A and B are shown apart, each in its own frame.
Chain A
Amino acid sequence: MVSILLGLMLILLGFRFSGPRTIPRQFFYPKSWPKPVYDFKKNPLNEEGFELGRSLFYDPILSGDSSISCASCHLSFTGFTHVDHAVSHGIEGRIGRRNTLALVNLAWNTSFHWDGGVLNLDQQAINPISHPDEMGSNLNASLKKLSKSARYRNLFFKAFGDSVPNTTNLLKGLAQFTVSLVASNSRYDLFMAGDTAAHFTDQEKNGLSIFRKNCTSCHPEPLFTNYSFANTGLNLDSLNPDSGRFEITRKPEDIFKFRVPSLRNVAVTFPYMHDGRFRKLREVINHYATKNCQITNSKDPVQQDELIFDDHQKKDILAFLHTLTDTKFIRENKFQHPIK
């Protein structure tokens, strides 16, 4: 009897230690924020998974000709977006259709991409990997390359207990890194938390109050987006027509609506809008303040005349938007290229 029990215990212990031992990774965010939408139960964060994702994110191994990585388009120093071209560039210099989105606070996204076509962060990365204009590879080819690398076999084993890279673990690893990109330490955050060191000038305070009056129906604090879709009245670009949300829902009322982007780090994430048509933040504000700009959002129609700002008001809004830059986030060592 005793020996049977002992045997059982040994078997159980054996199971416990047969997989890798991982170090759980805490997901931190300010107490005052809403609960994240991302389902951490399906992909529990651990240090090893995060490091695997970080390594993949910075490694051109995922692209067809091993020339570009996620970080080629999502640069940490510019809030994880691509700043030198209006629309993103991929392998062989092919030009993508849309402006790269900044990666920030993805755990709260209810959908992904400018048109909301992607519903789950875990599956988002299939897009860049298998999109001919982005990384020009396919999952099978990428998995094959990874399985030939002893370093990756080791990283995959440490994170998921399986040294053979598969789709699930590749995507979960990437998501462990990208979901960790939380920006919550801007001067705005410190000011709101009552930090005396985070002084707001009168101009910034005035900007905040104009913003609260005019912009928070779509860009509410603290995430600065409500993740809905709206048409901000941009003229159609006939060379690069994009009907936005309509491409996913096929509902006529969704034509030319795009997902409301977060405004965190917005001062460094130029160019702006889904097609990157504005290089300067000032131009975005001018766009909102033009008379013929028809903003439509089925839930929350905005009174256009409320958005006619004078030059002082424009400067105030601009000054406020600059307080949303989280330099700690942008320089965070843990989010940079892992030193090999």
Chain B
Amino acid sequence: MRFFNILIFLLGIARISLAQELRIRPVFGPDTLDWGKDKYTSAKAETMSFSSLELYLSDFTWTDSSGKEVKEPGRVELLEAGSEKQNLSIAHPLGSLKRVCFRFGLDSATQVSGRMDGDLDPALGMYWAWNTGYIQCRLEGNSVSSKGKKGKFEFHLGGYSSPWATDQKVCLDLTNPSINGKQDVFFDIKAMFDQVSLKKTHSVLIPGEQARQLSHFLGSGFKSQLQ
């Protein structure tokens, strides 16, 4: 019995030290995002600061440098960043990655599956109660350009039925090495603010053409290298 306990304990340690993670680092152009503090300037010459970001990634396919591929369809990860929380790492089953593919958001089957466990728990605040489904990506902050209350802007982007589906397939060829089991990719939200003027749009809270368009601007912000 004793022996088994020790064995399980050792296996546990081995698992922890072997855990490999992909880190999604939110950036604004070349700059790391500093929540609630720094001011960033978009190509539209609007300055802004950010308070929080939440996004769903799902349906992962991992490929390591030897070409080995592991698929995790149906896997759902809610990533969160802000001044109070930082949860941007995704554990994966391979060593050093060469390529990763995932869905930015959740597909319609997951949206309506009725699963309410883990990262899909509606208590996490990403569930749109009045309109069955989850917000795919939520980004909030402030800007003097925004006409919202006290310069607030809020983008709760979601919707999964055509023609306004917001989920997108993203594939990245990784170029950063794995350091201590961690490998970085970047999520550049400037991609959206270069296209959208906060003067004109400071709040999108429902599915529709705007949500679809903004989601696609954001989706183009995933990249494996900082600019």
Interface residues, chain A, with chain B CB atoms under 8 Å away = 39, 42, 113, 117-120, 122-123, 126-127, 130-131, 138-140, 143, 166-168, 171, 247-248, 250
Contact = CB atoms under 8 A, between A and B. Distances in A.
B130 A120 contact: no
| Among all A-B residue pairs, the 5 with the closest Cβ atoms | A139-B123, A119-B132, A126-B129, A117-B131, A127-B129
Nearest to A117: B131
Interface centre among B121, B122, B123 (most CB of A within 10 A): B123
Given A42-B114, A119-B132, A167 B122 contact: yes
B87 to A, nearest CB: 17
Given A117-B130, A167-B122, 14 more contacts: A39-B114, A117-B132, A120-B114, A122-B116, A123-B127, A123-B132, A126-B129, A131-B129, A143-B123, A167-B121, A167-B123, A168-B117, A247-B131, A248-B131
Contacts of A250: 164, 207-209
Contacts of A168: 116-117, 121
Interface in B171-227: 206-209
A171 B130 contact: no
A120 B129 contact: no
B8 interface: no
A259 to B, nearest CB: 14
B7 interface: no
B205 to A, nearest CB: 12
B112 interface: yes
A32 to B, nearest CB: 29
Contacts of A42: 114
Nearest to A248: B131
Contacts of A139: 122-123
A115 to B, nearest CB: 8
Contacts of A127: 129-130
A118 B123 contact: no
Contacts of B131: 117-118, 247-248
Contacts of B207: 250
Interface of B: 112, 114, 116-117, 121-123, 125, 127, 129-132, 164, 206-209
B117 to A, nearest CB: 6
A42 B114 CA distance: 9
Contacts of B129: 118, 123, 126-127, 130-131
Contacts of B125: 138
Contacts of B127: 123, 126
A123 B123 contact: no
Nearest to A124: B129
A117 B121 CA distance: 19
A123 B133 CA distance: 10
Interface centre among B116, B117, B164, B208 (most CB of A within 10 A): B116
Contacts of A166: 121
Contacts of B116: 122-123, 167-168, 171
Contact of A120 (B112, B206, B208): B112
Nearest to A130: B129
Nearest to A169: B116
Nearest to A39: B114
24 contacts: A39-B114, A117-B130, A118-B130, A119-B112, A120-B112, A120-B114, A120-B132, A122-B116, A123-B116, A123-B132, A126-B122, A126-B127, A126-B129, A127-B129, A127-B130, A131-B130, A138-B123, A139-B122, A140-B123, A171-B116, A247-B131, A250-B164, A250-B207, A250-B209
A257 B131 CA distance: 16
B118 to A, nearest CB: 10
B32 to A, nearest CB: 31
A118 B121 contact: no
Contacts of B206: 247
A113 B130 contact: yes
Nearest to B111: A119
A123 B114 contact: yes
A1 B127 CA distance: 53
Contacts of A167: 116, 121-123
A93 to B, nearest CB: 21
Contacts of A120: 112, 114, 132
Contacts of B209: 250
A143 B125 CA distance: 14
Contacts of A171: 116
A118 B164 CA distance: 18
A127 B122 CA distance: 11
A139 B164 CA distance: 28
B204 to A, nearest CB: 13
